[in-house]
Amino acid sequence: MKNNIYLFLICISLMTNACQTKRPAYALALHGGAGTILKKNMTPEKEAAYLQALNEALTIGENILKSGGKATDAVEKTILYLEDCPLFNAGKGAVFTFEGKNEMDAAFMDGSNQKAGAVCGVTNIKNPIRAARAVLEKSQHVFLSGRGAEIFAQSVGIDTVPPAYFFTQERWDGLQKAKAAEQAKGNSGDLPFGKTDYKFGTVGVACLDQMGNLAAGTSTGGMTNKRWNRIGDAPVIGAGTYADNATAAVSCTGHGEFFLRYTVARDICALMEYKGSTLEAAGEQIVMKKLVEKGGEGGLIAVDKNGNIIMPFNSEGMYRACVKAGEARKVLIYK
Ligand code: ASP
């Protein structure tokens, strides 16, 4: 009798564990940038346009994963859409540098084999995420910059465009505003980024596919009014982008200098790998405690190997969306 009770209890406990650890068939999270995004500054039309774009991007990625496609394909196709959408600071909607140019950065990482590819400071590649993936798949390298990255991209058949393709009036006006604010502060350029009123707008995707593979990608125009070929965290593997099947896939957005210094994306995975943290605890510790203490504004999206999703941010808002197989999607902007 006693033995039967023990057996019964063991079965219950095994069943409960199985339920808790059962991973969804797929999971995907994306962001369209974090920053000073306040409802009071948003028109209903603009809000609706952002929500629609986030929704459409999510559908592109979800359809790939739902039909058994690869995490890497879901990351690339979702980011392609976001890069072509002028609402976001990546591809078409990239922000302007101090010299009035668009210099873009992107990174791509495949968690199944830890292969990575990245480009930075590119000016004529229509979709920098495509170039980042090509560095991973078609070169012996991980990170290419500037003109070399452009020549490589062209050599593998990636679309280039005249730099004028990236002109949008809104981003141009944003540069003029940033310059005026800088002048008013008497700032000579040693501190190019004000802490207020920057809606960063980078895009990123992290996902888990039905084979259990993770992948992440990030693409950005960087920060408005950047100088001296400044490169942010987005294309730096381990800072703004990271993926490892053993832990999680992560894409960051925010004030890149801080994400670079504290290797944020890798830190999330390292906490899980070495300390046994849950994804949620790692996100809380890095985004909501460490970055806040250091003054680093921004957030990230991440998906772990069990399909858990987090989207923490310490700024006013973050354009974000996520979906898991069998669950309702979330599409959000504000806190
Ligand atoms: N992290 C990006 C950078 O510093 C900006 C962003 O996320 O919007 O270049």
Residue-wise pLDDT for 280-323, tens only, equals 999 999 999 999 999 999 999 999 999 999 999 999 999 999 99
Distance 283 CA to ligand 1 centre (A): 18
Of 72, 78, 202, 247, the catalytic one is 202
- pLDDT of 26: 98
Residue-wise pLDDT for 85-136, tens only, equals 999 999 999 999 999 999 999 999 999 999 999 999 999 999 999 999 999 9
DSSP 83-147: HHSTTSSSGGGPPPPTTS---EEEEEEETTTTEEEEEEEESSBS-HHHHHHHHHHHSS-SEEEHH
Closest residue by Cα to atom 9, ligand 1, is 222
- Using the structure block, give the residue that is written with the tokens 């669950």: 327
Task: Pick the atom of ligand 1 nearest to 256's CA.
Answer: 4
Pocket of ligand 1 (CB under 6 A): 33, 89, 200-202, 220, 222-223, 232-234, 240, 253-254, 256
DSSP 320-331: EEEEETTS--EE
Using most ligand atoms within 8 A of CB, pick from 31, 96, 119, 200 the residue to mutate for ligand 1.
200
Distance 254 CA to ligand 1 centre (A): 5
Closest residue by Cα to atom 8, ligand 1, is 200
pTM for the model stands at: 0.92
Using most ligand atoms within 8 A of CB, pick from 253, 257, 287 the residue to mutate for ligand 1.
253
If you average pLDDT over residues 184-199, what whole number do you get?
Answer: 58
Which three-class secondary structure state does DSSP give residue 303?
strand
CB 321 within 8 A of CB 329: yes
202: annotated active-site residue: yes
Task: Pick the atom of ligand 1 nearest to 254's CA.
Answer: 7
- 101 CB neighbour count, 10 Å cutoff: 14
What's the helix, strand, coil split of the chain in %, to 5? 40, 25, 35
Distance 240 CA to ligand 1 centre (A): 8
Task: Pick the atom of ligand 1 nearest to 230's CA.
Answer: 9
CB 273 within 8 A of CB 280: no
Phi, psi of 268 (to 5 degrees): -60, -50
Share of the chain above pLDDT 90, in %: 84
Distance 24 CA to ligand 1 centre (A): 30
Residue-wise pLDDT for 24-56, tens only, equals 999 999 999 998 888 888 999 999 999 999 999
Distance 296 CA to ligand 1 centre (A): 11
Using most ligand atoms within 8 A of CB, pick from 97, 226, 230, 233 the residue to mutate for ligand 1.
233
| Cα 206 to Cα 27: distance, rounded to the nearest angstrom | 8
| Cα 166 to Cα 104: distance, rounded to the nearest angstrom | 10
Distance 50 CA to ligand 1 centre (A): 18
